[in-house]
Amino acid sequence: MHSANLISGRTFRQLTAALVLTGASCLGLSAQAGAQDSTDPIKLTLHDWTGQLITTEIMGEVLKKAGYSVEYVQADYLAQFAGLETGDLHVAMEMWETTGREAMDAATATGKVENFGPTGMKAKEEWWYPSYMAEKCPGLPNWEALKDEACAEAFSTAETAPKGRYLGGPVTWGGFDDERVEALDLPFEVIHAGTDAALFAELESAYQRQAPIMLWIYAPHWAPAKYKGEWVEFPEYSPECYNDPSVGINPDAAYDCGKPFGEIWKVGWAGVKDKWPGAYEAIKAFTIDNDEMGKMITEVDLDGKTVSDVVGEWMTANEDRWSGWIKK
């Protein structure tokens, strides 16, 4: 570990850190952190969506209160695993069961990345439509309404007509929508958006014109708060439905049900446990729920508050909770 660090690491910064360590401990700055904990900064990754920024900043602030040095690093959601495996990055606060499972499994299989347990938030992902579409297709939100051809046509565009157009997530998200359409015999064509930003750009565009749209939406996110709409209710998900064709409505096909609701996990470098045992416990203890998070995301994205202000308010309002996480 140590020899690897010497070469692997920021030799320069470590040198300064070592010099300062003596000074800092005299000043009592690291007094609160456990004696065996390293004084190196814990690197938390920031991605490009608000909810994640809030979660990460809350964790970071809590760790700071416990006397740890914290550094935020901007990193791509999936590319970050390269850094988490090598120990260049330490903690990623939101890894969604629904979109990140595969990458996370591959990383934990190396033994260098550890799952720090659920955040308490549940990812919801499903087909979604704006409420103004309800009158054009009265049977909704029940999925069987989509089988009606008039209803599907209401969701169509020139390219897909007479089939309806369903805008799925990026190919990399998986989601099995092509299979679902097949299995449930829906008269829809699945178009894949390339990124999350493209997905919401299309929604914004359609919503402004009150135009038909059916797309993949997930929560916690600002979109369900900003746009009025509803999730399609598919037959409930079960692991058997995905794995066993005989289960579910269509006896010959798997994926004849809705998408799973998934945990949002905390993951990180496996070395955190030994290097910062106290912080490790605090990170494992962190939980927050969907409603709280939805409220904070709305405050930032729609009411224009800064992430730091919202996090600051949460910290003062929930002192009991977070002080429990860092109790030794």
Partner 1 sequence: MATPRPPALDATGFQAPSQGLKLPYAWIVAVTAFVVLWLYGEPIAKSAFDYPKAYTVPLAKWISAAMKWLLNDASFGLFSFTELTRFISAVLDVPYTIAASLLSTGVLEGSGSSAIQILPPLSWVAVIGLAMLLGHWLGGMRLALLAGGCFLFLAVFGQWSSAMITLASILVAAPLGVGLGLLFGVAAWRWRWLERAITPILDLMQTIPVFAYLVPVLFLFGFGPTAAVIATLIFATPPMTRIAILALRAVPGEITDLGHMVGCTDRQMTWRVMVPAARESLMVGMNQVIMLSLNMVIIASMIGAGGLGFDVLAALRRLDFGAGLEAGFAIVALAIALDRLSQAAADKLSMPSPEPRTQSAFARHPYLVAGAALVIGTTLLGFVVPGIHTYPETLELSTGTFWSEVVAWINVNYFDTLEAIKNAMLLNVLIPFKRLLGSLPWFGVTAFLAFAGYRLGGIRLALLTAALSLFIAATGQWEKAMITVYLCGISAVLASLIGVPIGIVAATRDRLWSWVQVAIDTLQTLPSFVYLMPAVMLFRVGDFTAMIAVVAFAVAPAIRYTALGIRRVDPRLIEAGRAMGCTEWQILTRIRLKLALPEIMLGLNQTIMFALSMLVITALVGTRDLGQEVYIALTKADTGRGLVAGLSIAAIAIIADRLISAGAIHAKRRLGLE
Q: Are 214 and 188 in contact (CB under 8 A)?
A: yes
Q: Could you give the CA distance from residue 59 to residue 44 in angstroms, rounded to a whole number?
A: 9
94/57 Cα distance (integer angstroms): 12
137-143 contacts: CB < 8 A, separation 24 or more? 140/230, 140/232, 141/230, 141/231, 141/232, 141/233, 142/232, 142/233, 143/184, 143/186, 143/232, 143/233, 143/234, 143/235, 143/258
Q: Does 323 bind partner 1 (CB under 8 A)?
A: no
Q: Among 54, 59, 103, 151, which residue sits at the site for partner 1 (rule: CB under 8 A)?
A: 103
**Binding of partner 1 by 191 (CB under 8 A):** yes
Query: Is position 40 an interface residue for partner 1 (rule: CB under 8 A)?
Result: yes
Contacts (Cβ under 8 Å, ≥6 apart) of 247: 238, 240, 241, 254
Q: Least Å distance between CB 39 and partner 1?
A: 7
CB of 33 to partner 1, least distance (A): 10
Residues 268-297 that bind partner 1 (CB under 8 A): none
Pick the binder of partner 1 from 153, 179, 202, 292 (CB under 8 A): 202
Q: Which of 36, 105, 142, 194 binds partner 1 (CB under 8 A)?
A: 194
Using CB under 8 A, which of the segments 22-30, 176-184, 241-249, 315-323 binds partner 1?
22-30
What would the DSSP string read from start to end of 241-274? HHH-TTSSSSTT-S--S-PPPEEEEEEEETTHHH
Which residue lies nearer to partner 1 by CB, 256 or 266? 266
Tell which one of 62, 181, 193, 283 touches partner 1 (CB under 8 A): 193
224 lies in the site for partner 1, by CB under 8 A: no
The encoded tokens of residue 79 equal 């590319």
Question: How is residue 217 written in tokens?
Answer: 């939406």
Contacts 24+ apart (CB under 8 A), 296-305: 296/51, 296/54, 297/50, 297/51, 297/54, 297/220, 297/221, 297/222, 297/225, 298/222, 298/225, 300/50, 300/54, 301/50, 301/222, 301/226, 302/222, 302/225, 302/226
**CA separation for the pair 199, 224 (Å, rounded):** 13
Q: Binding of partner 1 at residue 315 (CB under 8 A)? A: no
49 is an interface residue for partner 1 by CB under 8 A: yes
- Min dist CB 48 to partner 1, Å, is 5
x-marked contacts with partner 1 along 143-182 as a string, rule CB under 8 A: --------------xxx-------x--xxx----------
Segment interacting with partner 1 (CB under 8 A) among 129-137, 191-199, 237-245, 273-281: 191-199
Q: Which residue in the set 36, 131, 142, 195 belongs to the binding site for partner 1 (CB under 8 A)?
A: 195
For residue 79, state whether it binds partner 1 (rule: CB under 8 A): yes
Comparing CB distances to partner 1, the nearer of 12 and 138 is 12
Is 76 one of the binding residues for partner 1 (CB under 8 A)?
yes
Quote the CA–CA distance of 62 and 323 in Å, as a whole number: 8
> Among 89, 113, 241, 270, which residue sits at the site for partner 1 (rule: CB under 8 A)?
89
Q: Which of 1, 2, 7, 252 binds partner 1 (CB under 8 A)?
A: 7
* d(C-alpha 80, C-alpha 90), whole Å: 10
Residue 9 CB, nearest distance to partner 1 (Å)? 7
Q: How many residues bind partner 1 (CB under 8 A)?
A: 74
Among 1, 2, 12, 251, binds partner 1 (CB under 8 A): 12
Which residues have a Cβ under 8 Å from the Cβ of 87 and sit 6 or more positions away?
8, 112, 269, 271
By the rule CB under 8 A, 82 interacts with partner 1: yes
Nearer CB in complex with partner 1: 83/248: 83
